[in-house]
Amino acid sequence: MHDLPRKAVIPAAGLGTRLLPATKAQPKEMLPLVDRPAIQYIIEEAVTAGLNDILVITGRSKRSIEDHFDKSVELETYLEANHKFEELEIVRSISDLAEVHYVRQGEPLGLGHAVASARQHISNEAFAVLLADDIISENHPILPKMMELYGETECSVLALMEVPSADISLYGCVAYEEVKDGVVTISQIVEKPDPEEAPSNLAVIGRYVFTPNIFSCLDHITPGRNGELQLTDAISLLLEEQPVYGCLITEGRFDVGTKIDYLKAIVELALMREDLGPAFKEILQEIVSKMN
């Protein structure tokens, strides 16, 4: 078993246009899912998988992300003075979650450009990338499996999910060969293909474990779709150098960058909660009953 990655990169510089107008003046990553901002779920997932050194790629108007994971002396003092010790513990636990660093992506030039911005922090280590739009339920974790597969192979690993053929043009898509249940080797990757040209219906979702070789591949790509530097193009070059594996996830993933999945995530995450689930289920049943 090889040494496992200890660093994670979270690109969070996007404009969140799919969630306008809610994201006009606040980062999409800070929109609440029940009582936590979306990006907190991402960082908690990384920490649970053993990734305690987190680099968040931010942009303009993203300062609230830094504030959320920083200490809040005034708030902590107020909570302590008013004997709100349960709330105080919650607030302190957020700033103690992980060692969180930040770098700004000067222009939104694509996911490939965002990952390349992490080069100095990552240096010559393997690392994980977690996209902030993709929330993975803690009941269906994929990142630990990806980390384990990296430890066995010392190769890059992508998270993959089967999607309807009509939706494949929204994703990176792979050609593959099955290795064992839930694990494949990837032979080709294509960015947002037309359904009739897609090599399969396995889509790349927002979890990656990369060897540092990805950075040299990022150096050699040119702007692609929408004039952006596509991470998919760099992975395609990486395939020419070394094997790339895929881990399959079948459920528990929410694309909270879309309004309908954002709502679905709130409902399902709330139902999972012991403190909220039973009462919330009754409310939902009552609403549906009235509608019927």
pLDDT digits (tens, 9 = 90+) for 238-278: 999 999 999 999 988 998 888 999 999 999 999 999 999 99
pLDDT digits (tens, 9 = 90+) for 156-169: 999 999 999 888 98
Per-domain residue ranges of the chain? 7-257
Q: Per the structure block, which two tokens stand in for 209? A: 């474990």
| Under 8 Å between Cβ of 46 and 54 | yes
What is the CATH superfamily name and number for domain 7-257? Spore Coat Polysaccharide Biosynthesis Protein SpsA; Chain A (3.90.550.10)
* pLDDT tops 90 at residue 129: yes
Diameter over CA atoms, the chain: 64
Q: Which neighbouring-strand residues pair with 244?
A: 156
Cα separation, 60 vs 171, whole angstroms: 26
Cα separation, 6 vs 223, whole angstroms: 30
Q: Which of 27-41, 187-201, 215-229 has the lowest mean pLDDT?
A: 215-229
pTM, two decimals, is: 0.91
Collapsing DSSP to helix, strand or coil, 9 comes out as strand
